[in-house]
């Protein structure tokens, strides 16, 4: 998994290009891919590729660099998803035991079922990635822009709320006690 090039097709490719090249919210396509996985699973948003002929490719060297992060995100997604009819044991095996390619010399031997479940799991992971990419695009697209006045109002309200919280806790409380770590 996460060893070769991965091509994203359709509107999601357009979204990735927009986030990296136009908005410059991310430096690389792989960064959008990983953030999409996290946001997709957090918001339980899945989507399938398609919709246009645009393409964006994440090259294998990017996956090699971020292999550990991608594998951890994969585990989080699979362990948290309950949409498939997999048992808890199946999800754990997918994350920690199963392999995604046949190998005649593997010990223990790799089964066809194992490879099929890994393919299905990777497809599910990529659906969450695409859902997260849609959320990122919606957040950064021009239709979601906020005026400077709204930003200042929000910041003022947040600071005012924090001031009220601090003042309410200060009554009879030492400031040093308030700001000390809670561990």
Strands 6-9 and 55-58: antiparallel
> Is 1 a member of any domain?
no
Residues 100 and 152 in one domain: no
125, 49: one domain: yes
- Range in 47-61, 109-123, 126-140, 148-162 the model is least confident about: 148-162
Q: How far apart are CA 108 and CA 114, in angstroms?
A: 12
Is 47 found in the same domain as 34?
yes
Give the bridge partners for 57, in sequence order.
7
Residue 57 to residue 30: CA distance in whole angstroms: 9
pLDDT digits (tens, 9 = 90+) for 128-137: 999 999 999 9
Residue 183 maps to a domain: yes
Domain assignment present for 168: yes
Q: Does residue 140 contact residue 18 with C-beta atoms inside 8 Å?
A: yes
162 and 136 fall within a common domain: no
Would you say residue 98 lies in a domain? Answer: yes
Shared domain for 57 and 133, answered yes or no, is yes
In a domain, 15, yes or no: yes
- DSSP output for 11-77: HHHHHHHIIIIIS-S-SSHHHHHHHHHHHHHHTT-----BSSS-EEEE-HHHHHHTHHHHHHHHHHH
pLDDT per residue as tens digits for the range 12-38 = 999 999 999 998 889 999 999 999 999
Same domain, 174 and 132: no
Task: Tell me, yes or no, whether 29 lies in a domain.
Answer: yes
Residue pair 11/54 in contact (Cβ under 8 Å)? The answer is yes
**Same domain as 141, residue 63:** yes
**d(C-alpha 36, C-alpha 17), whole Å:** 14
Is the pLDDT reported for residue 179 higher than 60? no
Rg of the chain (C-alpha set): 22
Average pLDDT across the chain, whole number: 84
Mark whether 10 and 91 lie in a shared domain.
yes
> Is the dihedral angle over the CA atoms 156, 161, 164, 170 positive or is it negative?
negative
Residues 79 and 164 in one domain: no
Domain range holding 181? 147-183
Q: What is the pTM of this model?
A: 0.74
Whether residue 128 is found in the same domain as residue 39: yes
Does a structural domain hold residue 131?
A: yes
Instruction: Report d(CA 139, CA 163) in Å as an integer.
Output: 29
Considering only CA atoms, which of 35, 6, 7 is closest in space to residue 137? 35
DSSP one-letter code for 10: B
The number of distinct structural domains making up the chain is 2
DSSP 8-state class, residue 50 = B
Read off the pLDDT of each residue in 31-48 and give the average, rounded to a whole number.
Answer: 94
């Amino acid at each position: 998994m996460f060893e070769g090039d991965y091509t994203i097709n359709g509107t999601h490719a357009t979204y990735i290009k927009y986030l990296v090249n136009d908005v410059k919210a991310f430096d690389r396509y792989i960064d959008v891919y990983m953030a999409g996985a996290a946001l997709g699973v957090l918001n339980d948003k899945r989507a399938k590729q398609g919709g246009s002929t645009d393409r964006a490719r994440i090259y294998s060297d990017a996956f090699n660099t971020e292999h550990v992060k991608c594998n951890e995100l994969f585990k989080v997604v699979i362990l948290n998803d309950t949409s498939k009819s997999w048992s808890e044991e199946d999800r754990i095996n997918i994350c920690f035991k199963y392999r995604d390619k046949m190998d005649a010399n593997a010990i223990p031997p790799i089964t066809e079922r194992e490879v099929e479940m890994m393919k299905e799991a990777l497809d599910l992971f990529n659906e969450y990635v695409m859902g997260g990419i849609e959320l990122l695009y919606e957040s950064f697209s021009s239709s979601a822009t906020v005026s400077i006045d709204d930003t200042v109002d929000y910041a003022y309200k947040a600071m005012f709320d924090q001031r009220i919280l601090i003042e309410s806790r200060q009554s009879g409380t030492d400031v040093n006690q308030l700001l000390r770590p809670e561990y």
